[in-house]
Every structure is written in structure tokens, then in C-alpha cells.
Chains A and B, each alone.
Chain A
Amino acid sequence: MTFALAMTALLADADPIGIAGERAICDRRGVLYFPELRLLTVSDLHLEKGSSLARRGTLIPPYDTGATLLRLQAVIADYQPAIVISLGDSFHDGGGAARMHSSFRERLETLMAGRDWFWVAGNHDPDAPADLPGETVRELAIGSLVFRHEPSAVRVEGEVSGHLHPCARIVQQGRSVRRRCFAGDGGRMIMPAFGAYTGSLNVLDRAYAGLFRRETLMAYMLGTERIFAISHAMLRPG
């Protein structure tokens, strides 16, 4: 299959949505792609979270960085973006990049090669990752969009952010389903966390208070095969 064909297949798979007039695809794997800009956004990779906890005696499996990079590799191979924005908390802590196993570092550098790569500063990783290419920025404006880690308290049209790790929950037939999700109201978008060990916070939690226009809030929940767009009225807390 040629690249163009693969792209058509992918695009047909998901209905694009609009963010401040820009067309975007919410990919079920948790990345956001803007076809016109050939721009891929991923948020909250939290690389080296495993080793970060290990330093404090919680020896969880050291495979999270590898697992996260493998999944990232797959979406980058599919979309072949010209620009990649990692929307903050790319590493779980400031020393993460330096601790990364050399094999993972090489894998990451291969992914980055030939593209414009932006590390947006996050609260976990305010500084540029040690010895890695790419440009570290506090925030980034492209077209009518602005990319930053933490959603701003005042409403900004076209803002794409992360930080809150949104998930949503519905109850159907007496059963509860909770999934990570993109949360958007047409004006701003908060992305799900991508990292293998990242937890999530319900979009109805008070941490999101005032961020969205309630009437148009949609949760794009990540399914195993596709994205499910769920309206605000269907969502449950907890």
C-alpha cells in the first residue's frame, strides 16, 4: 500500500472534528493529527516514569519507555507527519532523559529524524531534555492554534493542551465503561495522556471547572477499534 492510500484509509476511518476552524483527527491511539498542517500532537508521554518511581523504591517494570515509544513509532509511521509536538510532561521528571536506556534514546532519535520536533515544557519537565534534538518551547502558535501544556484558566479559542489526563465514563445497561478521551467543545481541546503508565482524571472532575462550554462538550473516548464521540449529557463522574 502506498503512503497516499494508507492515508486515505486512515482518514476515512475517523470523522475529522473542528478546533477553532482547523480540521483535526482524533486517533483512537490517543494522538491528534492535523492533515492540512501535517502536524501530529501527542501529550503527556511521561517517559521514564518507571525509573522515576524506582528511585523511591517502587520497582515497577522498566518497560514503560519502550512500550510508549513503540506505540509512538506506530502512529508516526502511519501519518508521516512533518511536524511533531510533544505537549509537555514528555519525561516524568527532569532527569528522565539522562536516565533513558541508550537503546530507547536511539529509537527516539530515529523517530525524530527528518521532522520538526517541539518539546513543549511541562510541569514535570520544565527544562529541555538532556542531549536530545528538537526545540524546547513554553508554548507554540501555528495558524489559529496555540499549543501549551496546561490549559489556561481564561478561555482561548484554538488552544490544544494536555496535563489533566482526561478520561470519561458512561453507564450502559447497568455496566460502567471508563476510557481515556479527548475532551473538546469546538473551541479548545484537552488531549489524553499517551504514556504507558499514565493515569487519568474524569472530565467531570472539578479540576476542569470553567474550561469548557458545557453545552458543546464532547468526550472522544478511545475504543479498541475506533473513537466514540459521547455527548456531555451521557457522561458520569467518578
Chain B
Amino acid sequence: MTEQPRLAEQNAAVRLPEPFLKWFAQRGWSPRAHQIELLATAQAGQSVLLIAPTGAGKTLAGFLPSLTELAGRPGGKPGQARRGIHTLYISPLKALAVDIERNLGKPVEEIGLSVTIETRTGDTPAHKRQRQKLAPPDILLTTPEQLALLIAAPDARRFFEDLRYVVLDELHSLVTSKRGHLLSLGLARLRSFVPGLQTIGLSATVAEPDELRRWLVSQNPPGCMAELIVVTGGAKPDISILDSEQHVPWAGHSARYATPEIYSEIKRHKTTLLFVNTRSQAELLFQELWRVNEDTLPIALHHGSLDVAQRRRVEKAMGENALRAIVATSTLDLGIDWGDVDLVVHVGAPKGASRLAQRIGRANHRMDEPSKAILIPANRFEVLECRAALDANYLGAQDTPPLVNGGLDVLAQHVLGCACGAPFHADALFEEVRTAAPYAELDRPTFDRVVDFVATGGYALKNYERYARIRLNKDGLWRVSNPRIAQQYRLNIGTIIEVPALNVRYVKGSASRGGRVLGKIEEAFLETLTHGDTFMFAGRVLRFEGIRDNECFVSNAPGSDAKVPYYGGGKFPLSTYLAEQVRIMLDDPQRWKKLPEQVADWLRFQADKSVLPKRDDLLIETFPRGNRYYLVAYPFEGRLAHQTLGMLLTRRLDRAGARPLGFVATDYALAIWSLADMGRMFRAKKPSLAALFDQDMLGDDLEAWLAGSWLLKRTFRNCALISGLIDKRHPGQEKSGRQVTVSTDLIYDVLRSHEPDHILLQATRADAATGLLDVSRLAEMLSRIKGRIVHKDLEQISPLAVPIMLEIGKMPVHGEADDTLLMDAATLVEEAMGTK
């Protein structure tokens, strides 16, 4: 696929204008083969997907077609009509757009091109945006949300009439979310404005490149794909798993045991990037490192909840190589250039092979030198997972998630956006929408229901005709019914729903308003705190003083032990691929040799006391403990699917008379405890395990449980906000969290009981299936284990069950805010008052 270097050089001479060749030569560089190949493909009029590791000169490659074309363009003459935007660059992060402006500006200046480059993000001041509308730059660097805004403007068609290229950076991360759905619709719109438009996608390695190739081009005719250029190679990363001298814990996520060993690695390297999966882990690790930081090395903390100014300071220090280590969450996952990182430490399991590869790519931004990485498993199951991820990395296996169909809530937002820009004809818009890959399978009746939803809410009870937001006129075109609708739309654009969060502010300060703001923290977490509780945030231990005027007030807590851990389960569930690799590893004692001795011992004990599951089996253990009975299942399907399974199984066990009391779920296992002896029930086949785990649980049980589930209500809230059913913001006022006009929970209850088939509930269920509930993965598992359930009725807990048993009581049992808690509180009162 990729040309030979010598051929590339000859080609470069043909393809690249003189000033470019000179610029390369002056630096002693030569253009890379894939850069020239991409240029040639673009010049042949094709859209193209470039898959390359970090450090391969992806950005320059993506812009070469634009720059060479702009270089050859005759200069503008006075009096000549202004020229529109030539190239649109879209990245998922504002920071990335700013980064690119700097990185691209340099060669443009050095080559001596008269090309204007500007960013346009949420931070761009209004006057600059206005000016950009009148005098657009040649290259505009922006985000998906800004593109949606530009498209919804009345002059959109004219604004984009000169557009030639759209460069999409970090495409692999854009396409998996609703932001990607909205962006694909935006691209479809741009293609209808400018039929010859070409796209250039830049991506890290993914499991299914063809999905991205289709995503980049019109799906009319169906199945069309962009050209593909793959840059392989780059040096193999040097990854190892920490073989700790210490005891690897059975459970938990802190990896505290390894702190001294991590610290000595930091000392041995120039700059270390430490990745963790959650913000709470970041806080904890940061605290632990400073506890042992005898040399007071500059070690910093970076995560999405911290105050922006604080994050910028850390990023700047990092760029200037002023830090020795930085503890970070996924906010740093994407391709920002990070100085001279020479070691990546991944604390906790990576959850996916591709995710690990992308994170390791952060180190050593030069593709010919091997990146160095150390994995630190936080517990024993994570040792297995790290091993599987490491093997996958050497094999080059990829497990990026498959793309899902476009959300109907996103489509609703887009339809209103189109109407805000210009009147539309339903037939034409339907055809246009279907050119976007995520919506290629959309059928007309569904599309019409979405349009109806946008117009009047799409209810069976036709009560809102007179309040329609868009109306069908006699000319067959849909128009916005009044300008206020468009104004409101622009305020509420986008698919990013922020969880309700409050500022964290010091009580003490010079002004009466209180002290410095440290960042934002979720309302849901704060709700569990009472005055005097201590918790970790922004690298400090803080005491909760109270909430006032929508801000959380704190003071520094003496001592360094936080009473309340800042809980956050892994954000990403274990990937299907890694789960399977772990099952294979358990089944094959030969492979245990590669594991640390203490972990291999643990597995041998399990084989001795119980059994290890075969790769396609589901092992169920039952045993008594205390005055309760336990069921532990090991599906390895990820926390979300296990949580759903736990909910459904407890319902069934309750019906069977097992009197279940609760359950916990981890990425690997599920434990349920009850008052009745479940082991005996299963042996007597009352019920049989086969019946208990039958796929029919995904029918009525799921439906009944889902109906009142907080998970579905949360999903509905997102759909309601994205679809524009309710507004995130009104003109002149910022609304947040509970202040939203009408609580979406109340709307959900009313809608579900009166119109269960409403399109928004349909969209909600579709989201839940792949999102918080992971029903699709559960369904696959249930069909896989049919007839393959292995039951071990034990007299006591097995070695494999220890980790999850340790989670009981530590993890909050997610559930409805139920009456039993109220009962407890009320009983206390009744006892105290002597009324009972």
C-alpha cells in the first residue's frame, strides 16, 4: 500500500512545489512516503483516511494538499470578491485546535506562504467570530460544535462555497460518540453545499478501518469508501508489567502497594506520564506520590474536573519540560504534543488493547524510537488483564468498539439546525442525511417522525400544532416559525451533556465571596457528604463545609486521610477482546508461567479448591458465609453488563424464593447474596441455572426493571437535552442540573405511561442497550454460555471469589433511591421519640 521510499522521493519532486522542497531540504528532511501518497490521492480528487502512529508527521500530511493548493493560488487583487474558507480542520479538543495553529503556523511561515490560519472555538471572542464571517481565513481550525453552529447560520451556504477540504483529526475518537453523529450530519450538509468536497481523516490504528473509510464519504451510492493509507511500523514499544516485590492486593484500584516502585521509576527517567482510569485514582496516586516524594520532584496532577487555569499551567509546564511527572486521566489521551516524555506508566488495567496503544504513543513522540511503558496492575485480576493487553499490543491486535447507528436525538437537533439555516424540503434532507454513514440505514417513516418531533413534539395527542417550532409551507418547505427558535437553538447546540457539578471553593478568601475555586465536582458525590467529611480533590485533602448559592465550600483538612473516598468506578468497561483473552489465559496453565509467581499461585489454589472456567464456559460458585449464601459468577463481560445482569438475576432469584439481599459487580465477576441457600436450590433444579440464565431474561424482566430504572432516566435526560425537547440554556440565563425547567425524570414518567412508543423513548432504549446497560453485550454472553454453565457448590469461599467479596460494602450498591433507607431514618425517629 505504501510506496517505496525512493519512489516517494521521485514523486515528491513531481508533487511538491519548489518552496516546499526547499524547506524540507533546508532542514535535512525528506518528505515521508505517506505524506506524498496522501498528497497524490488528494490531488487525484479522492477523499482519504490516513492511519498512522503518533510521531509519523500525520498533521503535516493532512494539510499538505491544502497548503500546496493554496501556494499555487494567484494572489487576490483589490476589488476582487473575498475568498471563502479553503480548508476546515476539525478536532475533538479545543486545545488541539490551538496546538495545531501553532504547529502549522511555523512551517507556513518558514516556507513563506501567504496563508491565513485561525481557530474558532467556544473561547473565541464574539468580535473575532464576527470578523471571521466577513473575512474568513484560508484555514479554519475548529470543533464539531462550532461546525454545527456555522451550518445553522442563514449564510452557511455562501460561507462554505469555496471549501475544498475538511481535515478530521483524531477521527477514531470522534466517530464513537454522539458528537461524531452530529459531525457526520454536518459533513453531509457541507457535501450538499459543495459537491466536490474532499475529506482527509487522520486516525490512530482501529479494529475496522473500513468503517471510518465509509464515514468519510457520501454513502450514496451505498458502501463507498475513502482511500486508505496505512503507516505501519514505528518501533515496537517496550512494555512491561511491574513485577512487584510487594504483595499484589486481592482487590481495590489504588495500586498503593506500588507507590515506592513507581517513585523510583520517576527518579530514573526524565519525564514520566502516569495514566489512571478515573479522577479518584488520579487524586489518590498524586497524594501517595507526594507522601514519598523526598526529593520534592515537580510532580503535577491533571484531570477534567480541575479549574481550567490550573490545567493550563500544568500543560504549559509540561511543554517546557519543567515537570518530572504528571498524573493524568483521559483528558490527556489525545494527540497533544507533550514535550519529552520518556516513560509512560499505566496505573490500573488499561481496559482495552487499542486504548493502551494510544496511551503509550504519548511517550517519545518520535516514531522510530521505541516508547517505554510500565503497567501497574492494582489487583490480581488486573494482572491477568494487563498481561492480555500486553500480549495484544505485541500482536498488534485492536479492539476499538464497533460504530453504532446514529442517534435519533442527534438527528432531531440537526433537523432543527438545518431549518435555522435555510428552509428545507423533507425529501431532499432525507436523502442528504442518508449519505452520512451513521444514518445510512435510516428509513423514511422514522425520519418523518423525527421531523414531526422537531415540529410539534411528535405526540399522539395533537395538542401543540399552534406552537410548532417549524412549519410546512405551501411551497413544500419547512421553515422555522419564529426567529426566537433559532436563537434558542444556537444556545443549546452540541451533544456534550455535562453532569450537574458545583464549583469547589475555599471558604477563606479576601473577598466576602469566599476563596479560590479549585475546580468542579459532581453534585451526586456532594450529596453524600455531610459537614465535616473529608475528601480528596485537586491534590488536597479537603473538609466539606457546606453548599451555598450553588457552590461547594471547603477548607484544608488537617492530616492527610480522607474519610470519604471520591468514588468512581472504571469509566470504560473491559473490552470484549481483552475479556476473551483473560478467559483463554485462565484456561491454559502453560500461560501462567508468564504471570508473577503470587498470581500463578492464586490460580493453582483455585484449581485445587474449585475449578477454573474453560474459555467458553461460565463458572458459577455458590457457598455460605456468615449467615448468608453467596452466588459468584465470572462472565468477564465488563462492569456495565454485569450490573444489568445483577439487576435481572436478583429479580428472578426473588421470584424463585431465594430472598436475595444485594449484589456487586466488577469488570470480571458478579456476586449476589441471599438469605436462602441458592446452591441447594440450583442442585434441586428449583430453579436450574440454565433457566436462571436463560436469554428470556432480556424480555419482560428487562422491560419491567428498565421502566423505573435510574439508568434509563439518566439516559432519557441526555436524549431530551440533545434532541432539544428541553433546553440546556435559555437566553440570558445559565441553567444547570436540577434547575432545568421541568425535571426530565417527571417528563419521563409521564411520557412512559402515556406514550411508551414515543420516538424519544425509542432513542433512549437504543442508547441504553449499548450504553449504561450494555444489554447487547449481555445478550451475546447469554447466548455464548447456553449449555455451558459450570456450577460448583462449595463449602466455603474460593480463591477466585475473594476479590469480588472484598468489594462488598466498599462499592455503593447502585439502585433506586429506595424506601428502605427512608424506613431506617423514620424508624430511628420513632424509636427516639418513643412512639413505637
Contact = CB atoms under 8 A, between A and B. Distances in A.
B528 A197 contact: no
B642 to A, nearest CB: 20
A67 B388 CA distance: 54
A171 interface: yes
Contacts of B746: 196-199
A174 interface: yes
A171 B819 contact: no
Contacts of B485: 57
Given A51-B464, A176-B528, A170 B750 contact: no
B467 A59 contact: yes
Interface in A145-187: 169-179
Interface residues of A, number: 44
Given A67-B754, A236-B530, A61 B822 contact: no
B821 A62 contact: no
Contact of B817 (A178, A196, A236): A178
A126 B43 CA distance: 71
B469 interface: yes
Contact of B812 (A53, A59, A175, A179): A175
Given A54-B457, A171-B528, A60 B743 contact: no
Contact of A228 (B467, B564, B754, B825): B825
A234 B547 contact: no
B463 A62 contact: yes
Contacts of A101: 461, 463
Contacts of B25: none
Interface string B450-464: 000000110101011
A175 B528 contact: yes
Contacts of A176: 527-528, 817
Nearest to A169: B527
A170 B754 contact: no
A131 interface: no
Contacts of B545: none
Nearest to A227: B826
Interface string B805-836: 00000001000011101111110111011000
SS class, residues of chain B in contact with chain A: helix
B753 interface: yes
A59 B527 CA distance: 31
Given A55-B467, A174-B812, A238-B547, A60 B742 contact: yes
B829 A225 contact: no
Contact of A59 (B547, B725, B828): B725
Nearest to B817: A177
A58 B817 contact: no
A223 interface: yes
Given A61-B747, A63-B750, A238-B527, A179 B464 contact: no
A234 B829 contact: yes
Contact of B819 (A169, A197, A225): A225
A230 interface: yes
B308 to A, nearest CB: 25
B513 interface: no
Contacts of A49: 742
B420 to A, nearest CB: 13
A63 B754 contact: yes
A229 B469 CA distance: 46
Nearest to A237: B547
B78 to A, nearest CB: 46
A60 B725 contact: yes
A67 B753 contact: yes
B488 interface: yes
B741 interface: yes
Given A67-B754, A176-B527, A58 B464 contact: no
B672 to A, nearest CB: 19
A199 B735 CA distance: 14
Among A61, A174, A179, the most chain B Cβ lie within 10 Å of the Cβ of: A61
Nearest to A67: B750
A224 B457 contact: no
B786 interface: no
Interface string A65-82: 011000000000000000
B692 interface: no
B528 A229 contact: no
A231 interface: yes
A224 B812 CA distance: 22
B461 A179 contact: no
B826 A60 contact: no
A49 B741 CA distance: 11
A39 interface: no
B750 A64 contact: yes
Interface in B545-597: 546-547, 564
Nearest to A99: B463
A85 interface: no
Nearest to B527: A176
A230 B457 contact: no
B484 A228 contact: no
Interface in B535-550: 546-547
A62 B459 contact: yes
Given A228-B825, A231-B829, A58 B747 contact: no
A57 B419 CA distance: 15
Contacts of A225: 819
B826 A230 contact: yes
A211 interface: no
A58 B463 contact: no
B790 interface: no
Interface of B: 456-457, 459, 461, 463-464, 467, 469, 484-485, 488, 523, 526-528, 530, 546-547, 564, 725-727, 738, 741-743, 746-747, 749-751, 753-755, 758, 812, 817-819, 821-826, 828-830, 832-833
Given A61-B459, A174-B528, A175-B821, 18 more contacts: A51-B464, A57-B469, A60-B742, A62-B463, A63-B750, A63-B755, A101-B463, A170-B821, A170-B822, A198-B746, A199-B746, A228-B819, A229-B826, A230-B822, A230-B826, A231-B829, A234-B825, A236-B530
23 contacts: A49-B742, A51-B467, A58-B725, A59-B725, A60-B457, A61-B754, A62-B461, A63-B751, A63-B753, A64-B750, A101-B463, A169-B527, A172-B822, A172-B825, A177-B818, A197-B750, A199-B742, A199-B743, A223-B819, A228-B823, A229-B830, A231-B829, A237-B546
Q: When A and B form their complex, which 9 residue pairs have the shortest distance between CB atoms, in order from nearest? A: A59-B457, A63-B754, A228-B826, A172-B821, A62-B463, A176-B527, A228-B822, A177-B817, A54-B467
Interface of A: 49, 51, 53-55, 57-64, 66-67, 101, 169-179, 196-199, 221, 223-226, 228-231, 234, 236-238
